[in-house]
Amino acid sequence: MKSVSQIRKRTALIFLIPVTLVLLSSALYPLISTLYLSLTDAELENFLNPNYVGFINYIENYEGMWYGVLADSLFWNSVRNTLVFSIFSVSLEVILGISFALIMLIENKLKWFVRAAVLIPWAIPTIVSARMFEWMLQDQFGIFNYMLIGMGILEQGKAWTTDPQTSMIVIIIIDAWKTSPFVAILVYAGLKALPNEVLEAGKVDGTNGITQFYYIIFPLILPAIAVAIVFRGLDALRVFDLIYLINAGSKDIMSMTVYARREMFEYSHFGFGAAASTMLTLIIGVIAVIFIQRTRLHKLDEME
């Protein structure tokens, strides 16, 4: 006789098979083949029959000079760009997202309009929002320059998206505009779930708007904010579309993904590109683990 718990365990295993297969084929296989590719000299000509070359795509000392992804200052530049983009865009999105969520909470006749308005940027495809901002920021005919010139702040139009000094800022602002709604929705759900009597107890204890937010609301929605940061952070570290769309060719704002893509598909250095991709995965993984450890996100159940 099998016990009920044994039967349950077996049923659970059966149910786990499909998803395991999907994960293995869609995640593990590409991961391993990329890892393998990064250890070969694969280029377009020998793509199906590459030679194993060890770690020279990562780092190699050849006649006193260092070569490989890890020795490429452009790669480290792209790492720095990605980190700068991630830190600033996620911070901005969290601040804006919390603000939007608090605004969405206000009960009045306009609340449906406000909620819809907050969500619209999130619904617009990146290519559309990127082009939209590009046109608005265009140096000759863009409305932004037109307004700045009208106000006498600028003498003549500035090419905001191609200027290396401003293009990163522009990209961060577009990303914040686009994805703050995502943070807002998560935080809004967290705010909606706040127990009303706890807030009332706070009022009786003497909180005003600011102390209520600081001492009660913020600590209680912190788990929701942490979840939002993890999601947005991982997204931002993998950023590709926005940077590629705004300024594909610029080395100054190139992200890790743009760097890997360029090596692989523009220069056909598949082995080298795969090494860059592997490094990208490694860096994101390390950051994610550190963040989740530090925020104790994996212990969310015990927090409450």
Partner 1 sequence: MKNRSKEDEVADININTVNKYFGDVHVIKDVSLDIKSQSFTVLVGPSGCGKSTMLRMIAGLEDINSGTISIDGQVVNDLPPKQRNIAMVFQSYALYPHMTVFDNMAFGLKLEKRSKDEINERVNEAARILQIEDYLQRKPKQLSGGQRQRVAIGRAITRKPKVFLFDEPLSNLDAALRVQMRVELAKLHNELEATMIYVTHDQTEAMTLADDIVVLDTGIVSQKGSPLELYDKPNNMFVGGFIGSPKMNFISSKILSKSSDATEVDIMGMSKISVPKMSASSSEGDSVSLGIRPEHLVVNGDSDGSWESKVFVVEKLGDVTYLYLEKEGEPLVAETEGHSEIKVGDTVKVGFPSGRCQLFDSSGQAFK
Least distance in angstroms from the C-beta of 214 to partner 1: 11
> Quick check: 201 binds partner 1 (CB under 8 A)?
yes
Least distance in angstroms from the C-beta of 97 to partner 1: 21
* One of 131, 200, 286, 293 touching partner 1 (CB under 8 A): 200
Q: Which of residues 220-249 bind partner 1 (CB under 8 A)?
A: 220
Name, in order, each residue with C-beta under 8 angstroms of 176's C-beta and a sequence gap of 6 or more. 89, 92, 93, 96
Least distance in angstroms from the C-beta of 99 to partner 1: 22
Q: What is the DSSP string of the chain?
A: ---HHHHHHHHHHHHHHHHHHHHIIIIIHHHHHHHHHTTB---STTTTSPPB-TTTTT-EEETTEEESGGG-HHHHHHHHHHHHHHHHHHHHHHHHHHHHHHHHH--STTHHHHHHHHHHHHHS-HHHHHHHHHHHT-TTT-HHHHHHHHTTS-SS---TTTSHHHHHHHHHHHHHHHHHHHHHHHHHHHHHTS-HHHHHHHHHHT--HHHIIIIIIHHHHHHHHHHHHHHHHHHHHT--HHHHHHHTT-STT--HHHHHHIIIIIS--HHHHHHHHHHHHHHHHHHHHHHHHHHTGGGHHHH-
Stretch that binds partner 1, among 25-33, 58-66, 90-98, 212-220 (CB under 8 A): 212-220
Q: Which amino acid is at 250?
A: S
Q: Which is nearer to partner 1, 10 or 111 (CB)?
A: 111
> Quick check: 143 binds partner 1 (CB under 8 A)?
no
Q: Which is nearer to partner 1, 29 or 214 (CB)?
A: 214
Q: Mask 267-286, x = binds partner 1 (CB under 8 A)?
A: --------------------
Is the CB of residue 137 less than 8 Å from the CB of residue 245? no
Least distance in angstroms from the C-beta of 228 to partner 1: 18
> Quick check: 64 binds partner 1 (CB under 8 A)?
no
Q: Which is nearer to partner 1, 150 or 219 (CB)?
A: 219
Q: Which is nearer to partner 1, 212 or 268 (CB)?
A: 212
> Quick check: 215 binds partner 1 (CB under 8 A)?
yes
Q: How many residues interact with partner 1 (rule CB under 8 A)?
A: 18
Stretch that binds partner 1, among 6-14, 116-124, 202-210, 226-234 (CB under 8 A): 202-210
* One of 4, 65, 204, 210 touching partner 1 (CB under 8 A): 204
* One of 44, 211, 249, 286 touching partner 1 (CB under 8 A): 211
Q: Which of residues 156-195 bind partner 1 (CB under 8 A)?
A: 195
Closest CA to 138 of 157, 151, 120, 119: 157
Residues forming contacts to partner 1 in the complex (CB under 8 A) are 195, 197-198, 200-207, 211, 215-216, 219-220, 303-304
